[in-house]
Structure 1
Amino acid sequence: MNNTTTLIIILLSIGCVQGLIYGGILMKSTKENKMANRLLATILFFLSYRLLIQILRLFGLGRYDTWYYFMLDFSWIHGPLLYFYLKAHLTPYFKFRKKDILHLVPFLIQIGFSIFVRLQNLYWDGTRESLSWLGYWGYVVWMNLSTIYFVASILIIIYTTKAQKLLKTESLKGAISSGSMNWLKRVIISFKVYFSIVLTILLVDFVFINKAQFTSYFYFTQFYYYPFFIGISGLTYWLGLEGYKRKDVKILKSQVSNEELRQLTQMANDLDLTMKQNKWFKNPELTLSTLASKMEVKPYLLTKCLNTVKRKKFADYINELRVDELKRLLQQSENSKYTLLSLAFEAGFNSKSSFNRAVKKHLGISPSELKTSF
């Protein structure tokens, strides 16, 4: 083992150990930001695990030995986790919903294909003919090219962009304290910039230095390979340290106590349930006072519930329900004989202009585009 290899091991170990230590501390956090801290801990664990794999390979472990079949790369989950980490900070009592599972599809694909590719070694006898077409080219694309890191970089850029938009929206609402917002911005921007640079290097390498990609049969080992992991180590070290320092910092501006927030959250759940059952939003004359009376709560509490938990104005909340109802009506074949506007009135809208604005605001498309989509 030469001096360069030793130095690389030390640099990777610093980030790996830092991530494991602070990940363990954050995972046990029971105070403020419990879910957010656990998501950050999960990110640190995945980053540290990947660094550990690379350290073991530098020691000669994981190259077609028993360890080879267990050292799977889980890098396609980093993007979604970063997004949910931010979302957990911005959503009181954040919980995963069923539709959130869709964000894990790339991660599951990565696991499945990694296992498939590694199993090809059980059939390979040194000749191309010993493998199926998919097995051979899957191995080439997965193990000899930078496919894993290429896709991982794209996913992180996509999800950090989504996170920036979410952060901007909450900032415009005035829901975030400025000091804590700077930390969140740094996290998102740091990952986005770093992996944008990585993606650019990967693209340049693929286009201009493609022939050199096959110099190593076990993973690509281009000029940027170890610098890339040293950068990951640096990000892990910084993320663990800064995340630990801010593990109890409140991100959202809140004018309510924890007990009141729980009551408002329960009210929001009751509101969603009663709207689903009674469909009061279909009344075009529905007002905040009328709805509060039906729910037997004070109007100011209903307003506080919508602002604090839903982070929506009354009109936006009701119109969003009306848009969803309209979409349901459009899916029913027996309604094809009715005009779009008549169905909009059936859903609760009281004018064409309010209907047009609501569709544009909540779906980002025009009413005519909505009609043609069903």
Structure 2
Amino acid sequence: MKPLELVFIILLSIGALQGLIYGAILWINQNPNRTANRFLATILFFFSYRLIVEIFKLFGLGNYDIFYHVFLEFNWIYGALIYFFTKAYVSPQFKLSFKYDWIHFLPVLIEFLWSNFIKTQNFFWDGTRESLSWLGYWGYVVWMHYPTQYIISAGLVIFYILKSERMLSVKDYETYQVIPHKTDWISRILRIMKWYAITILLVVLIDFIFLDYAFNRSYHYPIFIGMALITYWLGLEGFNRKQDIVLKQKYILNDKETAQLKPIADKLKSIMIEAKVFKNPDLTLNILSESIEEKSYLVTKCLNLLFHKKFNDFVNEYRIEELKLLLKDPKNSNFTLLSLAFEAGFNSKASFNRAVKKLTGQSPSHLKSEN
């Protein structure tokens, strides 16, 4: 065995083993995201299976022997599993419905049946084209000598990741909210997997069009090393986040409460935009309530139920927007970020840093570079 193949086996084995371990933990773990974590565990199991198949092939198993008919392709299932993992993560009480969701697994069923059909052609092959039917011959050529499997697999992953990203972009539903920063890790994973699939798609298409795809597999090792790394990372992230509370149920207002709180919300917006009371570094809930001549408990109720924010977050969002305007003004180019933050209403460096990180997910320096 060549040294490169040995390194390849080690890397794939680490990814496959971690995928199986983390997958088993996520599957049996009782937590608020049980359904989503079981979809994630299934993704890890299929990734690990694919890596194990490649390891066996390096040991000479699975190349036109009995294992060749046992090791079947399930590459077209990844996209659907990624989509349902994301959907289950951000949808309370989600359950897979065979009646409505079976269509998403149709590609892998086609892949399973077609792969079996192609592999059975070896029972009829005697070295001549005439020994196979027209469908058997051309099916084998398209399946084995064209990048059909790669293209469809990558295309499905990209398609379903785009659907998942659109789903994650919605944070506010009628009866519940998605806590934004709790899904950032899923967005990162989707982004990495999307570019991984795009890269595979471009590489195999370039190879097929301009080179000799059927006999050139120089990119074979990098593709599966990438899969091993994603499997390891996906398992680690899923394990660390398995207990996260992602959804927050909304309090449903009745007509009387809406009529009571809506005028307060209008006054809060007005005093923030026109009077810019947020620039007062000593602003408190009581001061704000007195400014609009409302009781503090009603202001708190309005902030929680109509704006879905706590007092500090509500005020700090206006301060951050004001800071962005100050940063864009050329007149302020000589001022430090912290001095402008104080101008916007923040009263300390620590509170400023916390607010920016919490509300934007970025560091204050990144906020400055953007503006």
Band of TM-score, shorter chain? 0.5 to 0.7
Deviations 1:181-232 (A, max 9, x none): 21111121111111111111122112111xx2233xxxxx521111100100
SS in 2 for 1:248: coil
**Is it true that 1:139 corresponds to 2:140 in the alignment?**
yes
Among candidates 187, 202, 224, match of residue 204 of structure 2 = 202
**Paired residue for 1:124?**
125
Q: Answer whether contact 2:144 2:214 (CA < 8 A) is retained.
A: no
Aligned equivalents of 1:186, 1:252: Cα separation in 2 = 19
Which amino acid is 2:95 matched to? Answer: K
1:253 equivalenced with 2:254 (yes/no): no
* Distance in 1 between residues matched to 2:89 and 2:2, nearest whole Å: 45
Alignment of 1:35-54 (within 5 A): 35-54=35-54
Partner of 2:271: none
What are the within-5 Å matches in structure 2 for residues 1-374 of structure 1?
1-97=1-97, 98-170=99-171, 175-209=177-211, 212-215=212-215, 221-254=216-249
Matched position secondary structure for 2:117: helix
> Which position in structure 1 is the counterpart of 2:265?
none
Identity of aligned residues (%): 46
CA contact (8 A) 2:40 2:85 kept: yes
Query: Hey, what's the Cα distance between the residues in 2 that align with 1:111 and 1:214?
Result: 22
- RMSD, aligned CA: 1.8
Range 179-188 or range 4-13, more displaced? 179-188
> What is the DSSP-based 3-state SS (H/G/I as helix, E as strand, rest coil) of the residue aligned with 1:134?
helix
What is the CA–CA distance in structure 2 between the aligned matches of 1:109 and 1:75, rounded to whole Å?
11
| Local SS of the residue matching 1:253 | strand
Cα gap change, 1:148 to 1:69, in 2 (>3 Å) = same
Say if 1:29 and 1:38, in contact at 8 Å, map to a contact too.
no
Between the aligned partners of 1:254 and 1:89, the Cα distance in structure 2 is 14
Q: Secondary structure at the match of 1:92?
A: coil
Give SS of 2:127's match.
Answer: coil
TM-score, structure 1 normalization: 0.65
CA distance in 1, matches of 2:187, 2:172: 11
Unmatched tracts of structure 2, length 5 or more: 256-371
**Length, aligned pairs only:** 252
Q: Equivalent residue of 1:170, what SS?
A: coil
Distance in 1 (CA, whole Å) between partners of 2:199 and 2:48 is: 21
Conserved 8 A contact 2:88-2:94: yes
Counterpart of 2:225, as a letter, is I
Return the letter of the residue paired with 2:219: Y
My pick for the range that moved more, 228-237 or 92-101, is 92-101
Structure 2 CA distance for partners of 1:200 and 1:214, relative to 1, 3 Å: closer
CA spacing shift, 1:95–1:202, aligned 2, 3 Å = same
Q: Output the amino acid matched with 2:222.
A: P
Long gaps (5+) in structure 1? 216-220, 257-263, 265-287, 290-374
- Which AA in structure 1 matches 2:190? I
State how far apart, in whole Å, the 1-side matches of 2:247 and 2:85 are.
Answer: 14
Q: What per-residue deviation string (whole Å, max 9, x for no partner) do you get for residues 317-373 of structure 1?
A: xxxxxxxxxxxxxxxxxxxxxxxxxxxxxxxxxxxxxxxxxxxxxxxxxxxxxxxxx
Rounded Cα–Cα distance in structure 2 between residues aligned with 1:137 and 1:195: 26
Deviation at 1:37, TM superposition (A): 0.6
Distance 1:5 1:18 in 2: 20
Query: What one-letter code is carried by the residue in structure 2 that aligns with 1:21?
Result: I
